[in-house]
Chain A
Amino acid sequence: MKTSLDQIKSPAEQIDSSADKFSIVNISRRNFLKDFALSGFVLAVGFPSLLLADETATSSEPDKYGADAMPHGWVDNPLVFVAIAEDGTVTIICHRSEMGQGVRTSLPMVVADELDANWLNVKVQQAPGDEVRFGNQDTDGSRSMRHFFMPMRRVGAAARQMLETAAAAQWQVPVTEVHAELHQVIHTASGQSLSYGELAKAAAKLPVPARETLRLKNAADFRYIGKGGLKIYDGQAMVTGQAQYGIDTRLEGMLYAVIARPPVFGGKVLNYDASAALKVPGVVKVLELNSSPPPAEFNPLGGIAVIATNTWAAIQGRKALKISWDNGPNASYDSDNFRAEMVVSSRKPGKVVRNDGDVDAALDKSTQRLSAEYYAPHLAQAPMEPPAATARIIKGHCEVWTCTQAPQASRDQVAKWLKLPEDKVTINVTLLGGGFGRKSKPDYVVEAALLSQAMQGKPVKLTWTREDDLQHSYFHTVSVEHLEAGLDKQGKTVAWLHRTVAPSISSTFAAGSVHEMPAELGMGVINVPFAIPNLRIENPAAEAHTRIGWFRSVSNIPHAFAIQSFVAELATAAGRDHKDYLLELIGPARRIDPRSLGDTWNQGESPVIYPLDTGRLRNVIDSACREAGWGRTLAKGHGLGLAAHYSFVTYVAVVVEVAVDQAGKLSIPRIDIAVDCGPQVNPERIRSQLEGACIMGVSLATLGEISFKDGAVIQDNFHNYQLTRIDDAPREIRVHLVPTTEFDSPLGGVGEPGVPPIAPALCNAIFAATGQRIRELPIRDQLLKD
């Protein structure tokens, strides 16, 4: 394999070429090095972390938090992540999926900084699904940087030290006399230098330095980290139409497929007539896929697949199918009825999940009692690129190209469904045209693999149409949040009761689950950071009748909407300024052990390293309000609304300015969003994520709703599942990042925490502007005067 990376078409092909070797754990060190040298790279892509598991870094079971607690943890072996060719090209593997958060820029940038590589000579190569080699690849939970900042720093530092050692050996000087600087190693005393390319082969023969011997850069020496100076790695490809998404895969002899899935979750095909479909020009085959019994997991939904010579023919063929469905047990799911049921549940005692003081007694004694119910509907993630996957099977090896947030789960599922050993399944990860949680569930990847199998291994590209995407997603839950509070004579909140009612994501994995799991309760409900002596959280049961799944920010959305709206209502009732009242509820700056709130989950992070820091929450509230000019005089019909929310171990506060005209038309001149996510590795992409979060938050608050009738989703495309467009988007978004002073403190999430406070801040602003309180999302035409 004497070659350059440019000649290698598919990263997976290259990596897979030695896949068989990888399974042999006891490969000899000698052979390992021989292959290594032959590769022509210092640090060749394609060496399994398994080989070095005993001497370098892989995750370990004893630790329980953060990356350590994720499946397959983390890997910081430079041999896995970095290759340096003799021409000096540094190739850095990105093992997390790019879906717009900028991870293919930001993670390799961290490696490049510690390596002191010249970014202009860096190439990024996407890892296939293989967590044993790369560490956890589930790109969700806003944790790529949080979990891999330090491992990637170590990857870069280790590679740099190998180059320095090689140079020192060549010059026969102590390694302490040389240093790496922008793609070369320099011996200052003699004025000699060697480029990384020149050092490639020699460094290849060196052992990976032990982790405790790594010298990480001081923050002051960072070249890229914290600067935000780099352009998006894939930007040029994206604006010229060259970027390759899952839906863009093209293979020789490829067929194209769409599937008619059961309209109701749990339904199945009774019978079908394909005769008309088969007459559509281009249709090659029609076949039935079995439905799967509950729980949904990542199983395909079943249905009738149409396979054709192009996508349009497949779509036309599907239209011509005549199918009778057995709609199954969820055939009566109806969003209006279900909402009414949830409201009834929310008014009765439910499973108590946190209980401080005596809420009932405090409510009885209070001067003012308030209660409110908030409704937030199902949502579909609706990434602009719908789910898509292409699979082929050659000699018992299934290779897939797909846009997935879950490369390893995709691999596991394909292996399971095709009854193949895992090493006979390759998942090539393309760019994702948006994910937002939808592409964490690889049901569509399995579908493509099954269709290829049914076509004797021929390459088959499965495309989900927009109708498929909106009607068969793993939907964001639907919820009723019932809140009650008691105020004392001074207007201070002395009692707080919150009943949260929502089908749980756990129902997708364990049929019959009716309660929110710790990870859902820990999204702002159970860990509500208020200093209220009497506080009770209840979670009445709610049954799922569709596939419930992750949507960017997950349960934080309904929870923040209800809590942050209710606080504004309490402030109004108490005759107080909302900001002052919110700060008073939060109480003094303190670090709360989340376990003391009953939050055993804590976003998967250590409660010691990641306490709930009310000082940081107060600080972002102050910052957002200061920057937004809280209290300033506004034009008629304008209003400012505030909300703050802690999620994904990041603190966010938002002030939205709205304008509501006399006809009730809403516009949003400006949003100020203040964020404390700990150290900011790529502030430019952090800003873009938060701008996007503001717009997605506005979109779901004003327009977003998936609803069911007779078990099926009513909405089917962007005319009835509307998304915010440029003319209704906030005109100005100002992102205020708490300045980073050092990089040793723990990182927070970025992708998701901006979304939850937007809806309540928007609704609070509408109240300020109009006196109208929105308790039901989406806002849609609630403000319109007729």
Chain B
Amino acid sequence: MITLTINGQSQNIDLPADTPLLWALRDYVGLTGTKFGCGMALCGACTVHIDGEPTRACVTPISAAAGKTIVTIEAMDQDAIGKKVQEAWLSQGVPQCGYCQSGQVMSATALLKQNAHPSDADIDKAMSGNICRCGTYTRIRAAIKQAAGLAEIKS
């Protein structure tokens, strides 16, 4: 039995210690907002915050998450910056299919928490781990800038 703190709540997880956090969240706890995309930390769909760091839940065993603060997309609207990011996402009409957007929002929120005014290069670095197959990248960039309070350059 491993105890995890997820979105401020303590949860007992009766799964083997090497079970990735992703599957504990989705199948055991029932938080399906964190998405499966690759299982190899290649696509970012499963991004959660562990002690504030954007982390790929699909390769993080629950044993490594025990005792830490885990925050998922389901709690982002209770986070001042997370909420700002979500609002910017809607304002820019970012989502198409929406599937990767949980992870995108988590990565963008982590970026803005660490860097309130990211440059394009900062955005590239923070967001290049998150694949969007629908191709919403230009709007993601615009939404991050909006959330950061930067004017999107339109020529």
Asked if A433 and B90 sit within 8 Å, CB to CB, the answer is no
Interface residues as binary, B111-155 with A (CB distance below 8 Å gives 1, 0 otherwise): 000000000100111011111111111111100000000000000
* Given A384-B100, A436-B133, A696-B135, residue A726 in contact with residue B32 (CB < 8 A): no
Contact residues of B: prevailing secondary structure: loop
On whether the beta carbons of A726 and B35 are closer than 8 Å, the reply is: no
14 contacts between A and B (CB under 8 A): A232-B93, A232-B95, A235-B89, A239-B86, A239-B90, A240-B86, A244-B32, A247-B35, A310-B28, A384-B99, A385-B97, A385-B99, A692-B134, A726-B140
| B residues in contact with A463, CB < 8 Å | 36
Partner of B98, one of A231, A234, A312, A717: A234
Contact (Cβ within 8 A) B42 A239: no
Residue among B74, B77, B98, B102 with most chain A CB within 10 A:
B98
Q: Given that A239-B90, A240-B73, A723-B133 are known contacts, is A311 also in contact with B98, CB under 8 Å in the complex?
A: no
Interface members, chain A 639-695 (any B CB < 8 Å): 684-685, 688-689, 691-695
Expressed in whole angstroms, the minimum distance between the Cβ of A476 and any Cβ of chain B is 14
Specify which chain A residues have a CB less than 8 angstroms from the CB of B43 in the assembled complex. Answer: 384, 466, 718
Whether A250 and B128, one on each chain, are in contact in the complex, defined by CB atoms closer than 8 angstroms, is no
B55 at the interface (CB under 8 A from A): no
Instruction: Check: A236 CB closer than 8 A to any chain B CB.
Output: yes
Contacts A310-B15, A310-B28, A684-B93; is A243 near B135 (CB within 8 Å)?
no
A730 at the B interface (CB under 8 A): yes
The answer, yes or no, to whether A431 is at the interface (CB within 8 Å) is: yes
User: Do A383 and B137 touch (CB < 8 A)?
Assistant: no
Q: Which of A240, A431, A725 has the most CB of B within 10 A?
A: A240
Name, among A100, A101, A231, A724, the residue most crowded by chain B CB atoms within 10 Å (CB to CB): A100
Picked from A281, A384, A726, the residue with its CB within 8 Å of the CB of B37 is A384
> In this complex, what residue of A is CB-closest to B89?
A239
Residues of B within 8 A of A434 (CB): 97, 99, 133-134
Bound Cα distance A102, B86 (Å): 18
Known: A465-B39, A718-B40, A733-B138. 8 other contacts (CB 8 A): A240-B86, A244-B32, A245-B35, A431-B99, A684-B93, A688-B96, A692-B96, A727-B124
Interface size on B, residues (CB 8 A): 60
Q: Mark B7-28, 1 if CB is under 8 A from A, else 0.
A: 0000000011001100100111
- Given A431-B98, A433-B98: A732 and B93 within 8 A (CB)? no
A285 to B153, CA, bound (A): 57
Selected contact of B128 from candidates A236, A312, A383, A725, CB within 8 Å: A725
Give A724 to B134 CA distance when docked, in angstroms: 11
* Given contacts A310-B28, A466-B38, A431 and B97 within 8 Å (CB-CB): yes
Q: Which residues from chain B contact A581 at a C-beta distance below 8 Å?
A: none
The proximity string for A residues 372-402 relative to B, scoring 1 for CB distances below 8 Å and 0 otherwise, is 0000000000111110000000000000000
Show the binding face of B for A, using Cβ within 8 Å.
Answer: 15-16, 19-20, 23, 26-28, 30-40, 42-43, 45, 72-74, 76-77, 86, 89-90, 93-102, 105, 120, 123-125, 127-141
User: Which residues of A have CB within 8 Å of B136?
Assistant: 688, 691-692
Residue in A244, A245, A725, A726 whose Cβ sees the most chain B Cβ within 10 Å: A726
| Known contacts A384-B45, A433-B98; A726/B141 CB under 8 A | yes
Interface string of A729-745 (1 = CB under 8 A from B): 11111000000000000
Contact of B139 with A691 in the complex, beta carbons under 8 Å: yes
Q: From the candidates B19, B42, B96, name the one contacting A312 in the complex (CB within 8 A).
A: B19
Query: Is there an interface contact between B23 and A310, defined as CB atoms closer than 8 Å?
Result: yes
B86 touches A466 (CB 8 A): no
- Count of inter-chain pairs, beta carbons less than 8 A: 193
B135 touches A719 (CB 8 A): no
Query: Nearest Cβ in chain B — how far from A256, in angstroms?
Result: 6
B23 to chain A, nearest CB (A): 4
Out of A239, A384, A695, name the residue touching B137 (CB < 8 Å). Answer: A695
Contact of B131 among A100, A241, A435, A725 (CB under 8 A): A725
Task: Give, as a whole number of angstroms, the nearest-CB distance from B111 to chain A.
Answer: 12
Is A713 interfacial (CB 8 A cutoff)? Answer: no
Q: Give a binary string over A53-70; 1 marks a CB under 8 Å from any B CB, 0 the rest.
A: 000000000000000000
Q: Within 8 Å of chain B (Cβ to Cβ): is A238?
A: yes
A299-315, CB under 8 A of B: which get 1 and which 0?
00000000000111001
Q: Which chain B residue shows the least CB distance to A245?
A: B99
Q: Given A247-B36, A250-B32, A717-B42, decide whether A732 and B138 contact each other with a Cβ distance below 8 A.
A: yes
Give the complex CA separation of A435 and B36 in angstroms.
16
Minimum distance in angstroms from A277 CB to a CB of chain B? 15
Chain A nearest CB, measured from B17 CB (Å):
11
- Please provide the 6 A-B residue pairs with the shortest distance between their CB atoms, ordered closest to farther: A241-B33, A695-B135, A433-B99, A238-B98, A100-B97, A100-B96
Tell me whether A432 is interfacial, beta carbon within 8 Å: yes
A462 near B: Cβ within 8 Å? no
Q: How far is the CA of A729 from the CA of B97 in the complex (A)?
A: 18
Check A433–B97 contact: CB distance below 8 A. Answer: yes
With a cutoff of 8 Å between Cβ atoms, the chain A residues found around residue B15 in the complex are 282, 310, 312
> Which residues of chain B are near A730, meaning CB under 8 Å?
138
Question: Is the beta-carbon distance between A238 and B128 smaller than 8 angstroms?
Answer: no
B residues in contact with A244, CB < 8 Å? 32
A518 CB, nearest partner CB in chain B, Å: 30
How far apart are B69's CB and chain A's nearest CB, in angstroms? Answer: 18
Residues of chain A with a CB closer than 8 A to B139's CB? 688, 691
Q: Is the CB of A384 within 8 A of B138?
A: no
Contact yes or no, A384 B131, CB < 8 A:
yes
B37, B124, B127, B135 — most chain A CB neighbours (10 Å): B135
Please name the residue on chain A nearest to B144 by beta carbon.
Answer: A726
A203 located at the interface, meaning its Cβ lies under 8 Å from any Cβ of chain B in the complex:
no
B37:A688 contact, CB within 8 angstroms: no
Name the B residues within 8 Å of A290 (CB-CB): none
A495 sits at the interface (CB 8 A): no
The verdict on A584 contacting chain B, using a C-beta distance below 8 Å, is: no
Pairwise interchain contact A312-B20, C-beta atoms closer than 8 A: yes
- Residues in A whose Cβ lies below 8 Å from that of B38: 466, 717-718
Determine if B93 and A231 form an interchain contact, defined as CB atoms under 8 angstroms apart: yes
A233 to B132, CA, bound (A): 20
In the complex, which residues of chain A have a beta carbon less than 8 angstroms from the beta carbon of B101? Answer: 238-239
- Do A726 and B130 have beta carbons less than 8 Å apart? yes
- Find out whether the CB atom of B27 lies under 8 angstroms from the CB atom of A100: no
Question: Is the Cβ of A239 less than 8 Å from the Cβ of B95?
Answer: yes
* Chain B hits for A281, CB < 8 A: 16
Q: How far is the CB of B129 from chain A (nearest CB, A)?
A: 8
Cα-based distance from A385 to B74 in the complex (angstroms): 18
Smallest beta-carbon distance B70→chain A, Å: 14
Inter-chain contact B34/A241, CB cutoff 8 Å: yes
Tell me how far the C-beta of B78 lies from the nearest C-beta in chain A, rounded to whole angstroms: 10
* A281-B16, A431-B98 known; A382 vs B34 contact (CB < 8 Å): no
Assess the B33–A242 pair: CB atoms within 8 A. yes
Select which of B73, B96, B141 is within 8 A of A102 by beta carbon.
Answer: B96
Chain B proximity of A719: nearest CB distance (Å) = 6
Q: How far is the CA of A311 from the CA of B57 in the complex (A)?
A: 14
Chain B residues near A699: list those with CB within 8 A: 135
Please state if A240 and B95 are interface contacts (CB–CB under 8 Å): no
A582 contacts across to B, CB distance below 8 A: none
Residues of B within 8 Å of A245, CB to CB, are: 35, 99
> How far in angstroms is the closest Cβ of chain B from A238?
3
Q: Is the CB of A726 within 8 A of B98?
A: no
At the interface, yes or no: A484 with Cβ under 8 Å from chain B? no
With contacts A250-B32, A312-B23, A384-B43 known, is A238 near B134, CB below 8 A?
A: no
